[in-house]
Structure 1
Amino acid sequence: MKIVVLPGDGIGPETMAVAVDVLETVSARFGLGITLDHDVAGHASMEQYGATVRPELLDKVKAADALMLGPASAYEYPNQINASKHFRKGLDLYANIRPARTYAGMDHRFGEFDLVVVRENTEGFYADRNMESGGSEILVTRDVAISMRRITRVCCERIARSAFELAMTRRKHVTIVHKASVLKICDGMFVDVCREVAKDYPEVVVDDVIVDAMMALVVRHPQRYDVIVTTNMFGDILSDLTSELSGSIGLGGSLNAGADAAMGQAAHGSAPDIAGQDIANPFSQVLSAAQLLGWYGQKQNDARFLQASKAIDEAVAAGIAAGEATRDVSGRLGTKATGAALVKRLQQA
């Protein structure tokens, strides 16, 4: 398996270094033959090449099996390419899979839970993903701005099927989150297509919840939910919320997957205010790497990668329970020491 590694900005190089150590460790332990091809995007690319993403980088990633991407500080270069969006769109990574669960050794303010947000990733309210040319935000006058949203049947169908396929491996419950009460045509189509797909999965219990009510309900009782499927922006917001409910957004792994490609990407941002201080939580990047290995194992029908993915998940959980983690998740270690402890666990297991 060949993986292109782009550390990103801010805390990205620190957290990605831990993820790289973990990938190399499980590759040796399980005989995965992983090859890591290190490159740059974001600030480092801007300094070296004068662009946040150089044109040939997408082709390089397409020639590999997968991508590991660190967080990007997109706001600092508003006229440059947003690396995350660039690869999601260029590789057609339509499914953003965001697990959220509680861990032993941490306070469970909202009770124990284990859920996954399945977010459509290629259209919706995101202005940079809706048009063949240009964006879908229009400044009509200096005082009037309009943003258009695109929802298509094909994108609704494939994200719905991703959610139901995942639910079949879990507790067989899918919750459709939407705003069809107001967005009657767009979200109405989304709900209708999800329910059409549901007919192919009669074992799965299906319900739907209006998005604003969902924000309250998932805080009140996250245990009710198993797999949540929703559109792009609603999913972006909801997945950050559910990650934080687990104890820290630093525990939120994230996989961006398409039919033929995938990208592991930490759920959090680049956090430049704590960069270089050895306090950033590396687990989001590590858990994203675990998801990436799981995706590849399923795609190739190779149990070794599935075993490696599970081993990483279990080692992270054991490390948190033992306090071998950063302070934001009730641990006592810095970034590097957290990574070293995790690698030691994986080697000794």
Structure 2
Amino acid sequence: MVSNDGRVNPVDATTPRIGLLVGDGIGHEIVPAAQRTVDAAMSAVGAPEVQWVELPVGYDAIAEHGDPLPASTLDALDGLDAWVLGPHDSAGYPAQFRGRLTPGGTIRKRFDLFANIRPAKAFAGVYATAPEMDLVIVRENTEGFYADRNMFTGSGEFMPTPDVAMAVGVVTRRACERIAHTAFRLAQGRRRRVTVVHKANVLSLTTGLFRDVCVEVGAQYPDVEIRTEHVDAMAAHLVRRGADFDVVVTENMFGDILSDLSGELAGSLGLAASLNSSETRAMAQAAHGAAPDIAGRNRANPTALMLSAAMLLDWMSERRTDAVLGLAADRIRLGVTGTLAAGVATADLGGLASTAEFTETVGARILRR
């Protein structure tokens, strides 16, 4: 738990501690759903109960602390190595907060969460344009053309005159090397194929450096096949033959776009899990947004955040050398896939289940296996 001064109270070293940041919109429904799913999975495999550290963020934090991401929340995260972040509706925040980094962006930058891992996998029971798809987008999360990530201070976008807008893109060898190692290590546990996506025929220096460094790193993994693709061709390939790809590594903006495309081809962004990580910290965060239009109506699909939480448990299992956390992650995936295969789904997938009903069904499947 968190003390009055914002510090995380010490607990037994074997107790998993996970931060819980509900966020905005449907976060108030899907974050508790993911929490209950994790608790069920931990119970099912005989793991210690998770110590959930609830921290304010978003509209709730503005109401209580006058800021969507209070210093007390960031200070508490300093004492944790894993947390679950719900979606935020930063576009709807009061005007004084709209020109700054989003809560998620601030957290990613503060903790250097350089790897954004986004699986796209079709599920039985869910209609998919690419029903055989099972790939992972490995997205470099700190550089590129994203104005909130490519400058030490200030924005990477600027206007020298009212009629001219410019953007700075940043690619460094260090960032390319570490995301490439992440991708190739991941591929070694999958089908041993990595596709490096770039646009070096136009952005020859920036994405050319990304491509070349990834290929150099790939030479250290002789058991993994390497391919390179231009991003425009890759978008077409995903639509036509998405099942042919295993691990796709690319820069920030390309990864953002291709992962959304892959998620929809695999069934829905409502299924699209996501993990942001460094070598020492990780944050589960669904790829979709806060969906304020359906917030509070018990209609939100919690699948993406449930699967993101499973990825977080996998990451913790590897880092802590604790196999039981990996078993709990497997239980979550089995619970979700079994529920969808049985035809239980929320409205966005054409089903009739409410958020609560879907969560209860997943939890029951987890506990009975």
Q: CA RMSD in A?
A: 1.1
Superposed displacement of residue 170, structure 1: 0.2
What secondary structure sits across from 2:148 in the alignment?
Answer: helix
Matched to 2:29, the amino acid is E
- Determine if the alignment matches structure 1 residue 7 to structure 2 residue 7: no
List 4+ stretches of structure 1 deviating above 3 A. Answer: none
Matched to 2:81, the amino acid is D
Distance 2:281 2:82 in 1: 6
Distance 2:328 2:239 in 1: 32
Of 208, 215, 222, 2:235 maps to 215
Of 39, 44, 49, 2:60 maps to 44
What secondary structure sits across from 1:206 in the alignment?
Answer: strand
Superposed displacement of residue 81, structure 1: 4.1
Of 31, 39, 42, 1:24 maps to 39
Distance 2:343 2:53 in 1: 32
For 1:120-131, list aligned pairs within 5 A. 120-131=140-151
Distance 2:290 2:148 in 1: 21
Matched residue count: 349
Of 225, 229, 239, 2:245 maps to 225
Superposed displacement of residue 76, structure 1: 2.0
Superposed displacement of residue 279, structure 1: 1.1
Identity %: 44
Matched to 2:287, the amino acid is A
Distance 1:151 1:136 in 2: 13
Matched to 2:107, the amino acid is F
What secondary structure sits across from 1:96 in the alignment?
Answer: strand
For 1:45-194, list aligned pairs within 5 A. 45-77=61-93, 78-194=98-214
Superposed displacement of residue 347, structure 1: 1.1
What secondary structure sits across from 1:98 in the alignment?
Answer: strand
Of 268, 277, 294, 2:314 maps to 294
- Determine if the alignment matches structure 1 residue 274 to structure 2 residue 294: yes
Distance 2:225 2:352 in 1: 41
Superposed displacement of residue 110, structure 1: 2.4
Superposed displacement of residue 329, structure 1: 2.4
1:175 and 1:228 in contact (8 A); partners too: yes
Distance 1:276 1:12 in 2: 9
1:51 and 1:80 in contact (8 A); partners too: no
Distance 2:204 2:99 in 1: 34
Q: Give the TM-score, by structure 1 length.
A: 0.98
Which consecutive residues of structure 1, in runs of 5 or more, have no partner in the other structure? Answer: none
- Per-residue CA distance 1:170-202 (angstroms, 9 max, x = gap): 000000111111100001110110011001111
